[in-house]
Amino acid sequence: MASQASLRQIAREGPDGFAESKLQLWSASRDPERYLEPMLEYLYGELNRHLQAHVVPRLSRERGVVLEPKSLLGALYMMTAEQLVGV
């Protein structure tokens, strides 16, 4: 259980009211690309949730701390995350 608690702290949500203030800012804009930012925010949140469940950090002598998928599904989530951040 202790390792799960530490994983939750890595990708936790911002302070209370943070999401609501972003939503108000996005909804006030008339730019057609205003939909992109909320969509990415949702995608990152969902991906973080799935990464917490399917990927674990491991300590390696050669590479330091590495992320290791627990299953094929975890590997797919990692590949998606790497594509989003440009790795």
Q: What is the mean pLDDT of residues 68-80?
A: 94
Relative to beta strand 64-69, strand 55-60 is antiparallel
- 24 versus 58: the higher-pLDDT residue is 58
Q: What tens digit of pLDDT does each residue of 15-51 get?
A: 555 666 766 766 676 776 777 878 888 889 999 999 9
- 25 versus 63: the higher-pLDDT residue is 63
* Distance (Å, whole) CA 83 – CA 44: 12
pLDDT of residue 28: 72
Any idea which residue has 């994983």 for tokens?
Answer: 7
| Average pLDDT score over the chain | 77
DSSP state for residue 35 in the 8-state scheme: G
Are the C-beta atoms of residues 30 and 46 closer than 8 Å to each other? Answer: no
